[in-house]
Amino acid sequence: MLRLLTYGLLAALFFSSTFVLNRAMSLGGGHWVWSAALRYAYALLLIALGFVLSGRARTLVEVGRVYLRHWLFWTLAGCIGFGVFYAGITFAAAFAPGWIVATTWQTTILATPLVLAAFGRRVPLRGLLFTLLIFAGVVLVNLEHAAQTTWAQVALGALPVLIAAVAYPLGLQMVWEARAGGTHSRRVPHIDSAVVDQPFARVLLLILGSLPFWIVLVLVVQPPPPTQGQWVSTLLVALSSGIVATVLFMHARHLARTPYQLAAVDSTQSGEVIFSLLGEVLLLGGALPGPVGWAGVVLTMVGLVLYLGAQRREVAA
């Protein structure tokens, strides 16, 4: 369990760059659509180039075969797990500071048990009760934000993140179920291929699946050209969050063997709150939270610790 949690917290550290850099791009005039789409374009090129340079070009061929063999599944999982997820995160950055988006994002810990239940997997009630503390923390953080702006802006900064918080674990769980044989869902195909066991290959398959989402989004929104800084910032996000963090997180989830371990790995993402807050204050000169905001952050972190403790006791039992 310790190894899973270590991977999860390292992923949270690299994931936090998303919230800080997306906020920086928004403040610099970059459109949220490009902040999202360019990240995955870079990630696609970087992973493919990595396979070629490491002499694993055959893996790329196998990835293509697995994708074409189950193209509908990968498109659905990619559009949900990467497309809807990241579009919501980047959209919210235009209306709320990065640490507030990161805190609201912790509702994904509440969404994870619902996703697991949807696939017929049980999660202990004891752990679920502690997630209410995390949700209370999220509410307090957004209440402080509401005191500094309008409720309309709070909604635009929070609702897309709440949708993203469900989409991300849903897309990843679809892949987990496919690898496990779709035991609890007949709608998920059993993808029995060694390439699915490789973290970078799984990410690449999901990126390929998300491409239709990004193409349609660009055509529908028709954003202005990316800013100069956006090209560089999205590359950094692609490296730190899109590749390093995603691979670490998915690797931790795929090492998990029970629903309890899956939920524990997902809960480590609460670390993004502190990492994002520090990053925004140090790099963007952001203001520290007020008393209500700090109370929300503390509740979120306390909920995480209690949740992990409950999960460990359940596993030990």
**Rounded CA gap, 4 and 24, in Å?**
31
Q: Do residues 274 and 9 touch, judged by C-beta distance below 8 A? A: no
Mean pLDDT of 282-304: 81
Which band of pLDDT confidence, cut at 50, 70 and 90, is reported for residue 303?
confident
Summarised one tens digit per residue, pLDDT across range 42-71 is 999 999 999 999 999 999 999 999 999 999
Q: Do residues 113 and 266 touch, judged by C-beta distance below 8 A? A: no
Stretch among 15-24, 184-193, 202-211, 214-223 having the lowest mean pLDDT: 184-193
Q: Do residues 205 and 66 touch, judged by C-beta distance below 8 A? A: yes
Stretch among 46-55, 74-83, 125-134, 165-174 having the lowest mean pLDDT: 125-134
Q: In the prediction, which pLDDT does 297 show?
A: 83
CA distances, 304 to each of 137, 173, 174, 267, 272 (Å): 11, 21, 24, 6, 12
Summarised one tens digit per residue, pLDDT across range 152-189 is 888 899 999 999 999 999 999 999 899 887 555 567 88
Which band of pLDDT confidence, cut at 50, 70 and 90, is reported for residue 216?
very high
**Rounded CA gap, 40 and 34, in Å?**
10
Stretch among 3-12, 116-125, 203-212 having the lowest mean pLDDT: 116-125
Q: Which residues contact 209 (CB under 8 A, 6 or more apart)?
A: 67, 74, 75, 76, 77, 78, 79, 82
Q: In the prediction, which pLDDT does 184 show?
A: 56
Burial of 70 (0-12, 13-18, 19+ CB in 10 A): buried
CA distances, 246 to each of 7, 22, 40, 238, 251 (Å): 10, 17, 12, 10, 8
Q: In the prediction, which pLDDT does 276 show?
A: 86
Q: In the prediction, which pLDDT does 63 show?
A: 95
Which residue in the block uniquely carries the two structure tokens 């869902």?
Answer: 185
Q: Does residue 242 have a pLDDT over 60?
A: yes
Q: In the prediction, which pLDDT does 137 show?
A: 84
Q: In the prediction, which pLDDT does 135 show?
A: 79
Summarised one tens digit per residue, pLDDT across range 94-107 is 898 888 888 888 78
**Rounded CA gap, 81 and 204, in Å?**
12
Proportion of the chain above pLDDT 70, given as a percent:
92
Q: Does residue 266 have a pLDDT over 70?
A: yes
CA distances, 196 to each of 61, 148, 238 (Å): 13, 46, 21
If one compares 131 and 39, the residue with the highest pLDDT of the two is 39
Mean pLDDT of 60-87: 96
Compute the residue count for the chain.
317
Q: Does residue 207 have a pLDDT over 80?
A: yes
Q: In the prediction, which pLDDT does 68 show?
A: 96
Q: In the prediction, which pLDDT does 53 show?
A: 93
Mean pLDDT of 23-36: 93
Q: In the prediction, which pLDDT does 192 show?
A: 84
Burial of 66 (0-12, 13-18, 19+ CB in 10 A): buried
